[in-house]
A and B are shown apart, each in its own frame.
Chain A
Amino acid sequence: DTAVSQTPKYLVTQMGNDKSIKCEQNLGHDTMYWYKQDSKKFLKIMFSYNNKELIINETVPNRFSPKSPDKAHLNLHINSLELGDSAVYFCASSRIGQVANEQFFGPGTRLTVL
C-alpha cells in the first residue's frame, strides 16, 4: 500500500497556465508538507499544514496556494506558471505536528514549464 501518493507524477505545461498537484497520505498523520527540489537537487520546505491549518509558509510567491480539505490531503495549486517553477515537488507527512517526528515522502511530481 502506498503511504504518501502524489498525482500526477509528471506535468508538462506552458508558461502562464494554472496547474494543481494532489497529495494523499494513508498513514493517519496530522501534518503534511510540500517541498521543492530544484535542478541542483537542493530540497527546501514550501508549506506545512497541521490538521488542515497552515503552520509554515516559507517565502514562496503567492502564485502558489496550498489547500488541505482534510488532514489526509494536501494539494498545491500554482497560478501563472513561470519557467523558474520547473522542479520536482515532493509531498511529505509526519505523525505529530507539535513535536518533530519522522517525515515520509511521496514519489514526487516533476513539473516542466515550457
Chain B
Amino acid sequence: GIQVEQSPPDLILQEGANSTLRCNFSDSVNNLQWFHQNPWGQLINLFYIPSGTKQNGRLSATTVATERYSLLYISSSQTTDSGVYFCAVAGSNDYKLSFGAGTTVTVRA
C-alpha cells in the first residue's frame, strides 16, 4: 500500500510563530487531505488538496503531486492550533485513505 510520512513528529511553537508541516507519499494520489485532530479527539477537515495550493485564513497548503509531497503552513499560530495534524492520501483507483503518523503541535501562550 501507499506509504505516508509526516515530519516533524512533534512541534512546539510560541504563540504568533509560523511553521511548516510536511507530508511525503510513496505513489501517485488522487486524494490528499489534511486534518486537525483537536484535544477533544475530533477530526476536522482542513484541506482537500490532491494538487495545487489553497488557503483558509491563517492556514495554507500546497501539494506538488509530481514530487509526491504536500506542505501545510500555519501562520501566526494560536493556542487553539494545538493538536495533531494528519495527512492522508488515497492512491489511484483506491477508496481508502492511508494516514501518516501525524505531527503533534503544541502552541504555548
Contacts and interface: CB of A to CB of B under 8 A. Distances in A.
Given A88-B41, A90-B43, A110-B41, A100 B94 contact: yes
B96 A107 contact: no
B83 to A, nearest CB: 11
Interface residues of A, number: 29
Interface of A is mostly: strand
A105 B43 contact: yes
B96 A56 contact: yes
Interface of B is mostly: strand
Interface in A53-97: 55-56, 58, 88, 90, 92, 94, 97
A42 B42 contact: no
Given A42-B101, A48-B95, A107 B45 contact: no
A48 B90 CA distance: 13
Given A101-B31, A102-B48, A45 B97 contact: yes
Contacts of A35: 97
B98 to A, nearest CB: 8
Given A45-B97, A50-B95, A108 B33 contact: no
Contacts, number: 59
Among A45, A92, A104, A110, the most chain B Cβ lie within 10 Å of the Cβ of A45
A44 B99 contact: yes
A108 B99 contact: no
B31 A41 contact: no
B42 A43 contact: no
Contacts of A92: 97
A105 B43 CA distance: 6
Nearest to A45: B96
A17 interface: no
B30 interface: yes
A99 B41 contact: no
A43 B84 contact: no
Contacts of B102: 41
Nearest to B43: A105
A31 interface: yes
B88 interface: yes
